[in-house]
Structure 1
C-alpha cells in the first residue's frame, strides 16, 4: 500500500512537470499561504529537479490579512505595495512560471465590513492588472492547485476531528487529481484527449447561442462571433504546454459581452474573498446583471457586482457534465477550483483573450469589437445540476441538444 508521502510526492511532481511544465533555466514563482510551507518546500525541490534556475516564494497569511482588513485605517486599504506588483510583472516579462496554492477559508472575513473588503480587493486588482494580463493572455505558464488546511477541511467535513478531516480531504485531492493512479501522467494524457475531443466537437459546430434550462434557470448566452472552445491545457507564446488548473473537467469559451438574457440560479456555494455567497439568482438583460438576490451574502454579492462596469457582464461560459469525478464525490468543497469542475459554470467579469480566434494579438479596441468584457474580477460560479438541459442554437435558428439531465447527450 502506497504511503501518504508517496502520493504527496506524486502530487508535487504532477504540479511541476505536467501542470506548470517547468523548463530548464526558468524562474518559478510560488504564491502561497504560510500554512502550506511543507508542501512549498517539496514543490521547490521538484522545480529545481526539473531545471528551474530559481524558485521565488511569495508568502501570504490569511490571519494577518484579516487583521489588516478589520483594524487598519481605511486610507491604507486604498494603497498597494507597488514593489510587489511590479516585481511579479517583471518576473512574468522575463518568462517566469507561476504556481498558486489555493486554500480558501470561506468564513475568514464573515465579520468584516464588506465595503472594506471591496476597497482592498479593488486596490489590489488594479495594482496587479499588468501582471494578471500575462496570465490572462497565456504569455506565461501558470497553475492553481489546492492544499488542505484546518479551516478548509472543517467546511468540507465539519463533523470530523481535525486530523481525520485533513486526511480525508487529502484522499479526495489525490483521487480527483488522478494522483492515486499507477501512472498519473498517462491518466492525465487520456483525460486531456477526452476533453480535447469535446472541444473540437464544439468548435466544429460554431453555435451562435447556448440555452440553459433547469429549475430556477432559463438563460440564453450568445457566444462571441470568433469564439473558440478551450479545454484542459494551453500553450504559452513560446510554445510551452501547461494545464492552468488541477483538477479540471471543463470545456469553456467566451460569451459576447452584451448577448446574455434571462435568469440563472446558482447550484453550489461561492467562496469569494473570504466570504460565502449562496443560493443566489441573477437576471441578465443585454448582457448586464440587472437584478441579483442571495439568501446568504447579499451585501458581498452587491459589492462584487459593483467592483467596476464589467463586473455585471459575463467573461466565460463552461460546460462540465454532472456525471464527473468531483460531482460524484457527493461533497461540496467550498473551493471554486474544485466546485467549478463539478458543475457547468459561468464567470462574471474579465474575459480570456485566448478564447477567441487571434485574441491574444488583438488591441483592446479590437477585443471590445469582438465581444470581450474587461473587468478587474473574474469570478466563476456554479449553475449545473442533475436536471440541466443545454441546447446549441445555430445562426439559422436551428437547435441541437448538448446536455440532458446534466450530462452530454
Structure 2
C-alpha cells in the first residue's frame, strides 16, 4: 500500500473528524477506494472506534439500476436510523465510471434527491468529512495519468492545515463582518448580494479534505445581477458548460447553458429553494492549480469564486436570517484570474486573483 494512503487516513481521523474511542463511524465508499477504507479501519482500531462500510451515497451501478426502474421514492427509515445512531460520517469519492448515471432521467434523480433530503440533513448534523481517493476513472476525467492524479490528490490532501487556516483567516476577517459583496468578472458577471448577519467559515481540511476556501451564505432574497460560470460543471454524470444565471430578489429568473441546458433546468426545478443561492465561496488553495471536473478540488482553486444554488449550510446562516432549504446544493465556478475583482462593502479586496493582504495586489 502506498504510504500516503495511511497518511491520508490519519489526517481524516485526527484532523478532520477527531476520532475518539467508542465512536461509531460510517464510511461511505465505492470499492475502488478499498485501500483507503482498509487504512481507515487500521486507524479506527488504533483509536478504539467502530467502523461500518456502506455504499449508500457513493454507489454507481446498483444506484443506476434502481433509478432506471423506479420513479417515486420515499425516505428509507432504516438508513435514517443508521445515520441517527452514528457519531461520524466519512464519504470517499472514487469511481469506476464517472458517467455511470448519465442515462438516468434528471426528473427521476430530482425526485430521488428530494426523498433523500432528510438523510442529508441528518448526515450534516453529525461530524463528517468528504474526501477523494485517486481512482483511475477520476484521473481519466481530469485528463491525467493515474500516477499524476495520485500525486495531485495527495499533494492537495497532505498539507500543513494549521498554516492554511492562518492564511485564510485574513479573508474571513474581511468577509465575516461585511454587509454586501460584489463579484465582477469581465463583461459577463456582475452580481451583488448581502451577507449581513451570516457567518463566514474557514475551510482548512475538516469537513472537506482537501480544504482551501472561505465561504458564507447570501441573504436569501438579496442576490441581484448576472453570472457566467465559465468553468464546466460535471453533474449526474454529464457535463454542463456556459451556465448563465440572472437573479432578481434572490431568485434565478432566467438561465441558459451552452451544453445540457435541460439538466440545469431540472436542477433549478427540483424545489423552490433550488432557484436561490445557498453559498458564496472564495477559492484560496493555489496548490490546486488545474481544473479536474471534481468540485471537491475545483471549488478550492486559487483565483476563483463559486456559488451554489440550493441548500445553505446551517452553520453559515445567522439567527436573524432565513436558511435556504433545498434537496440540492450545486456549486458552479467563476474564473477570477483576469479582468475581475471582489468588492466588499465598496472596497476591492481581490483583484485578478490577488488578495489585498498579498504581495502584488497594487500592481
In the TM superposition, 1:222-233 aligns within 5 A as 222-223=194-195, 225-232=196-203
Tell me, yes or no, if structure 1 residue 340 matches structure 2 residue 337: no
What residue ranges of structure 2 are gaps of 5+ in the alignment?
A: 357-363
Shift of the 128–68 alpha-carbon distance from structure 1 to 2, 3 Å rule, reads: closer
Superposed CA offset, 1:215-268 (max 9, x none): 211111122x311111126xxxxxxxx810011111111101111111111132
1:108 maps to: 100
Contact 1:31 1:101 in 2 (8 A): yes
Superposed CA offset, 1:42-67 (max 9, x none): 11211221221x11111253122233
Structure 2 counterpart of 1:86, from 74, 80, 91: 80
Q: CA–CA distance in 1 between the matches of 2:84 and 2:59? A: 23
State the TM-score, normalized to the length of structure 1. Answer: 0.80
Q: CA–CA distance in 2 between the matches of 1:356 and 1:349? A: 14
Structure 2 counterpart of 1:295, from 258, 264, 267: 258
Tell me, yes or no, if structure 1 residue 373 matches structure 2 residue 324: yes
1:386 maps to: 337
Please report how far the alpha carbon of residue 81 of structure 1 lies from its aligned counterpart in structure 2 after TM superposition: 6.4
Secondary structure of residue in 2 paired with 1:390: strand
Tell me, yes or no, if structure 1 residue 173 matches structure 2 residue 153: yes
1:194 maps to: 167
Measured on the aligned residues, the alpha-carbon RMSD in Å equals: 2.1
Please report how far the alpha carbon of residue 135 of structure 1 lies from its aligned counterpart in structure 2 after TM superposition: 4.3
Shift of the 49–197 alpha-carbon distance from structure 1 to 2, 3 Å rule, reads: farther
Q: CA–CA distance in 2 between the matches of 1:84 and 1:169? A: 37
Please report how far the alpha carbon of residue 298 of structure 1 lies from its aligned counterpart in structure 2 after TM superposition: 0.7
Contact 2:75 2:116 in 1 (8 A): no
Please report how far the alpha carbon of residue 25 of structure 1 lies from its aligned counterpart in structure 2 after TM superposition: 0.7
Shift of the 373–61 alpha-carbon distance from structure 1 to 2, 3 Å rule, reads: closer
1:154 maps to: 140
Contact 2:190 2:227 in 1 (8 A): yes
Structure 2 counterpart of 1:49, from 32, 46, 49: 46
Q: CA–CA distance in 1 between the matches of 2:109 and 2:74? A: 9
Tell me, yes or no, if structure 1 residue 282 matches structure 2 residue 270: no
Structure 2 counterpart of 1:32, from 19, 29, 32: 29
Q: CA–CA distance in 1 between the matches of 2:354 and 2:244? A: 22
Shift of the 227–35 alpha-carbon distance from structure 1 to 2, 3 Å rule, reads: same
Q: CA–CA distance in 2 between the matches of 1:324 and 1:189? A: 16
Q: CA–CA distance in 2 between the matches of 1:384 and 1:352? A: 23
2:178 maps to: 207
1:311 maps to: 274
Q: CA–CA distance in 1 between the matches of 2:273 and 2:219? A: 12
Superposed CA offset, 1:318-362 (max 9, x none): 1124x7211x3xx221111001111211111111121134x4xxx
Contact 1:211 1:220 in 2 (8 A): yes
Contact 1:106 1:334 in 2 (8 A): no
Would you say how many aligned residue pairs link Structure 1 and Structure 2?
349
Structure 2 counterpart of 1:407, from 340, 354, 362: 354
Structure 2 counterpart of 1:9, from 6, 21, 35: 6
Please identify which structure carries the higher helix content: 1
Shift of the 337–254 alpha-carbon distance from structure 1 to 2, 3 Å rule, reads: same
Q: CA–CA distance in 2 between the matches of 1:173 and 1:248? A: 12
Secondary structure of residue in 2 paired with 1:332: coil
Contact 1:268 1:339 in 2 (8 A): no
Tell me, yes or no, if structure 1 residue 131 matches structure 2 residue 78: no
Contact 1:255 1:371 in 2 (8 A): no
Contact 2:277 2:310 in 1 (8 A): yes
